[in-house]
Amino acid sequence: MEAKAIEWVEDRLRILDQTRLPQEQRFIDLAGYQDVAVAIREMKVRGAPAIGIAAAYGIALGGLAIAAANREEFLTQLNQVIQALADTRPTAVNLFQAIDRMSKAAGRGNSIAEIKRMLVDEAKQIHNEEIEATMRLSQLGAELIKDGFTILTHCNAGFLATAGYGTALGVIKAAKEQGKHVSVIATETRPLLQGARLTAWELKQENIPVTLITDSMAGYFMRQGKIDCVIVGADRIAANGDVANKIGTYTLAVLAKENGVPFYVAAPTTTIDFSLVS
């Protein structure tokens, strides 16, 4: 897939507007941190890993725009940028991990010019690490998928949500690349229809067979033995392994347990919040 959900282009952040999919592939160039904050709030960028990456680039954009007389004044203004982005999506732990890394990067700089350079470099590093992490977890997860499997997934956890290879959908893509024949049943995922609008679109781009169902149909398909496993992503994972994800995920987990269907969560370590016991 050539389209990129997030891309740094000549000191601008280019995003694929997810609110326009699947009818239109529209890319938006964001020139300031305020634009990034609005894009996150309006879900033009969504998915825990992608939000963290977008926020990191947003902080870099904010830093580049600061005109300060000295280092202390620069850092004071940068903190205002950071706070604006921290307020966008408090449920995404990746957001705060990215913010923490960007803050530490700024603190290491000795001059304003150096801080600005380090902010851009750190944002790019966060992005690259997420790409590598999602590709690796997808390859590992694909080992759980057998040839001929039909997989149920909920919401959207592909390249759109991660700005990388994907998590739940990454596992499915990797299985296909291993030569396995797989098909997907995707829930529509109300109320914003991420499954219908985004997951089905991504899978069609990858030429992976997909059937779209209403959220309430999952139990029927499991009972009929038509689903071999369930794979979802995660918004946040607590230290004990508890998972917070799109509304409806818990229902699918209960249905999977009742019907003896394996249930997997695919997520990078950046989604784990060790500050939460459960």
d(CA 36, CA 13): 8
Residue 7 burial class via C-beta count within 10 angstroms: exposed 0-12, middle 13-18, buried 19 and up: middle
Q: Which residue in 23, 42, 22, 44 sits closest to 197, CA to CA? A: 22
Q: Catalytic residue at 235? A: yes
Q: Which of 11, 228, 235, 242 is catalytic?
A: 235
Contact (Cβ atoms closer than 8 angstroms) between residue 91 and residue 235: yes
**Which residues are known to be catalytic?**
235
